Amino acid sequence: NKFGDDYERRSWWKPFFMGVVGYASFFFVLFMGNYAIIYNQQSMSIESKLLGTWEVSIRKLDETPEGAEVELTISGQESYYRNGKSSGYGNMTWKIKTPDNEISLRLYLKATSTWSLYSNELTETIVDITFTPLDEVTKSFIKASPEFAAAMKEAFKPGKTSTDTILSISETTMVRVNEDGDKIAYKKKR
């Protein structure tokens, strides 16, 4: 059979091709395995440094479309646990300045959340959060402005997820960038 003879002469490529595929597969698996180990070690290193309690102070200035200046200050602590849960508490102050008036709203906040880490991306999901007014001015403002309370509940509702990028982390300091582009420095509590 002429076709059979011709096929037999060209069949040398089968073992050669299978060998190349075998070597390529071996090196691909070896490379990807090493990449996965290195990647996992990097995430584990960040995770092990992240665990514990961090102190944070945030100050953010903004302006409303109506021309009011708003200064937000938060000072508190966040704790990250091995089981993927976290908690935080602290004081939040909103200073609102208009051409006619200035008011400071002081709140104590306490939150629980879950967290996960993918490379240097820290994703947190709010489980529960409470805001407690710290003075009579804040209590009166919230009572007189239900839209403020509604906006706070919407901004921090359970199930809300946010992702920060960890720019650097050591045993004592951490710098993150939130979704708004704000760079936030943390100090590990001893």
pLDDT, tens digit, 9 for 90 and up, residues 82-91:
999 999 999 9
pLDDT recorded at residue 147:
86
Query: Which residues in 96-134 are b (16+ Cβ under 10 Å) and which e?
Result: beeeeeeeebbbebebebebebeeeebebbbeebebebe
The phi, psi pair for 84, rounded to 5°, reads 80, 15
| Whole-number pLDDT of residue 68 | 81
32 confidence band (pLDDT: 50, 70, 90):
low
What mean pLDDT comes out for the span 104-123? 94
Neighbours of 86 (CB within 10 A): 22
Of the candidates 45, 145, 129, the residue with the CA atom closest to the CA atom of residue 90: 129
Calculate mean pLDDT across residues 169-173. Answer: 93
CA angle 58, 72, 55 (to 5 degrees): 25
Q: Tell me the pLDDT band of 161, cut-offs 50, 70 and 90.
A: very high
Q: Is the model more confident about 44 or about 80?
A: 80
Yes or no: say if 138 and 149 are a contact pair by the CB < 8 Å rule. no
User: pLDDT: is 70 or 43 the higher one?
Assistant: 70
* CA atoms of 147 and 145, how far apart (whole Å): 5
Instruction: State the pTM of this model.
Output: 0.72
With 80 as the cut, is the pLDDT of residue 65 above it?
no
